[in-house]
Chains A and B, each alone.
Chain A
């Protein structure tokens, strides 16, 4: 039987269903796995996404024509049965299950195995062919449990507070920031969020995700209130005039990339917290195995390495070229690769 999903210049395409998954060029019909900018692009005619991700998607893409599916709910389009399963990556993130004439394919989108309080936890879906991401597809990437990272963040924040310093934590605005807010010990001190993060906090709160109270910097008249505060800001705020008001602060960056010294040094922050919204190497392997798939197609990240490893371990593995991300040696502009790293942190 012909492949159910192929890579076209617009994006991953379901042939019998005549629709795309996370396409990067404007198309007629698109299923969106999650609202990160490189997966959810503007300009498509019809969108389909998980119900829990609808609010975020609309807040980011504006007034789009959007159909939604609850997780595990089924709908049939051109004979292809479509259903969405939690990917555990960010609020509303899905794996897309496609069934056609008894054959099942799953497109993972971005995923993470460890559960956190801001989205439904990843759920393995049995399939014959699994299309997986590979952002952290190297055996050096192995995460500590989320709780121990959050403990480290709490301790860093507390110690800065004791020294009368502000703690500035850079993190991606959508997903990572809310995950930190949800898990952090909010009794340590006041929390201030950059506008870009607060916009998303509002959406999370509206759909009932518990987040602690946060302040905006404009709401603080008394500078003394800043002492001991935790400031969450997107990486782009680093070095901007917005940062000046915090005086003597300690800064940190929360991302899976912070595992490596080189990456930490390039960020030039005081601390790196290794907190990722993607699966680590053992996680990728566990997810692949759990699907029972014999055929695996690898997309954005360490594609060639994962393909070779999977082939050596008995899988029918190959690659899809996608434009979600770029590989190190592609010679692309450095800032593009940084943008990718920030959305895949």
Chain B
């Protein structure tokens, strides 16, 4: 009877409801285990077509905005029959446009239960190129079919603003536990899921959780996908604790875009760490031809006068959709290759670091392209000598060093079992923190929110992950960035205490500081010196921000 149950229309009918239910659970619980349970419950009985879209959104997929917020606002005000000023008052009280609209509309008169996949494929995406009148008619109909929490979700999906506090890794974990597949297999298969060029489908979901085939991972022939990126851990102890320096490969740590360059079946793809396909953004890199079955791991930088230009210059390149020859000349990009993951069509991630390095040198030296540079290995006879070289980091425009065990395999994500990559950064110390409070600035910036309070994660006594404020910072951003952040603050305000706004945590910043000490006067139990914003980390979700544990580890 299982089959007929699966095709029972009643079963699929509740799909949007169920996704809203999942969203609510993920949104309200801060405990990782609770989120994992909720994900497993959802995926254990979601139909593949719906599950495919759920994976897409939960893993951070962002479809283009279908309908402008201006129209959403206008049509919802019209349908609710309230004047604009009253809509504004509601928006002020709620602090989120989608949530305001969800509650302000009259109760549904014609409730439907349409599957998430049908919503996306037949109802939302086709609206993209419609006239405002058509959109208005469609929205009035859709809104009348849904409860408040489903409407909220619908508007988030339509406006491209869907966010929820789960990491991609947690989604991978849930699917791996459900399917019994190794976590590495699932994360490999999930590569490229959130790329907007590929639509989720039942077939893609089914192959995501299908039983493992014997040679999996080894023959991605013709596939565009990169491997899961192996991530480094901050080195908080002295490097001497790592033992014999000859067992370690030292390289510079660059401040660019981590990327994999994939060549298979005569085609090339360039993937960022956020798994966005950026092939077209860097023609001088994606134009370099390798043998088929080659995957390089490295860092994209703007390169000038034989050294990296600032991250801000790189951002100018990222932000551009069309590249004039002027831009290409002024801001030339290079790929600093530091690892080889696939060679001759073979997945060589399990080979030792030293062996992969040897092959990498062969591959790169065979190519003479200005856009490709091998990451130099830094030689030093002992840790002290290496430390002296590291002091030149600033003048070389790098962040410090990477230390890789010569015997390490290439892991997935932040795994440590197969060997560790350490990032040994120079001061200032840096952490990724979440903006939670904002206050207006002074003088020229008196009308903008420029003073921010940042928080990091900490487990409370009950084991719940909470954000603890640890630093205030008000410098380091450009005027344009401040204006962007200011707009988000106004949109996500949840409370006001006098001049201070408390905002929904959505933004991650890299915070740098000069020193750190224990402090009983601060809630976090530590105090940092001269904190400042180094950059906005749009590529990070709040779950990926650092923890108080990391900060405590920086205490000497």
Q: Could you tell me which A residues sit within 8 Å of B by CB distance?
A: 138-142, 259-266, 268-272, 302, 305, 308-309, 312, 328-329, 331, 334
Q: A312 CA to B84 CA in the complex, in Å?
A: 13
Q: Find out whether the CB atom of B103 lies under 8 angstroms from the CB atom of A262.
A: no
Given A264-B28, A268-B466, residue A328 in contact with residue B496 (CB < 8 A):
yes
A142: chain B residues within 8 A (beta carbon): 103, 107
Interface residues of B in 65-95 (CB under 8 A from A): 80, 82-83, 85-86, 89-90, 93-95
Q: Find out whether the CB atom of A308 lies under 8 angstroms from the CB atom of B85.
A: yes
Q: Find out whether the CB atom of A329 lies under 8 angstroms from the CB atom of B95.
A: no
Q: Find out whether the CB atom of B90 lies under 8 angstroms from the CB atom of A138.
A: yes
Given A266-B494, A270-B34, residue A139 in contact with residue B29 (CB < 8 A):
no
- Return A303 CB to nearest CB of chain B, in Å: 12
- Return A205 CB to nearest CB of chain B, in Å: 33
User: Which of B83, B96, B103 has the most chain A CB atoms inside 10 A of its CB?
Assistant: B103
Question: In the complex, which of the residues A261, A263, A312, A329 contacts B27, with contact meaning CB atoms closer than 8 Å?
Answer: A261
| B504 is an interface residue with CB less than 8 A from chain A | yes
- Return B295 CB to nearest CB of chain A, in Å: 41
* Size bracket of the B interface: 20 to 34
A269: chain B residues within 8 A (beta carbon): 28
- Return A181 CB to nearest CB of chain B, in Å: 24
| B497 is an interface residue with CB less than 8 A from chain A | yes
Given A305-B86, A334-B497, residue A140 in contact with residue B28 (CB < 8 A):
no
Q: Find out whether the CB atom of A265 lies under 8 angstroms from the CB atom of B103.
A: no
Q: A264 CA to B96 CA in the complex, in Å?
A: 14
- Return B511 CB to nearest CB of chain A, in Å: 23
Q: A160 CA to B433 CA in the complex, in Å?
A: 34
Closest to B90 in A: A140
- Return A289 CB to nearest CB of chain B, in Å: 16
A328: chain B residues within 8 A (beta carbon): 93, 496
Q: A263 CA to B495 CA in the complex, in Å?
A: 9
Q: A309 CA to B93 CA in the complex, in Å?
A: 16
Closest to B100 in A: A140
29 CB < 8 A contacts A-B:
A139-B86, A139-B104, A140-B90, A140-B94, A140-B103, A140-B104, A142-B103, A259-B103, A260-B99, A261-B504, A262-B94, A262-B95, A262-B494, A262-B495, A264-B27, A264-B28, A265-B28, A265-B504, A266-B495, A268-B30, A268-B466, A269-B28, A271-B28, A272-B28, A302-B89, A308-B85, A329-B496, A331-B498, A334-B497
Q: Find out whether the CB atom of A139 lies under 8 angstroms from the CB atom of B80.
A: yes
Q: A308 CA to B27 CA in the complex, in Å?
A: 35
| B281 is an interface residue with CB less than 8 A from chain A | no
Q: Find out whether the CB atom of B29 lies under 8 angstroms from the CB atom of A270.
A: yes
Q: Find out whether the CB atom of B504 lies under 8 angstroms from the CB atom of A262.
A: yes
Q: Find out whether the CB atom of A139 lies under 8 angstroms from the CB atom of B27.
A: no
Q: A328 CA to B34 CA in the complex, in Å?
A: 33
Q: A139 CA to B90 CA in the complex, in Å?
A: 7
Q: Find out whether the CB atom of B27 lies under 8 angstroms from the CB atom of A305.
A: no
| B464 is an interface residue with CB less than 8 A from chain A | yes
**Given A259-B103, A262-B94, A269-B28: 18 more A-B contacts, CB < 8 Å:** A138-B90, A139-B80, A139-B104, A140-B90, A140-B94, A140-B100, A261-B27, A262-B95, A265-B28, A265-B494, A265-B504, A266-B494, A268-B466, A270-B28, A272-B28, A305-B86, A328-B496, A334-B497
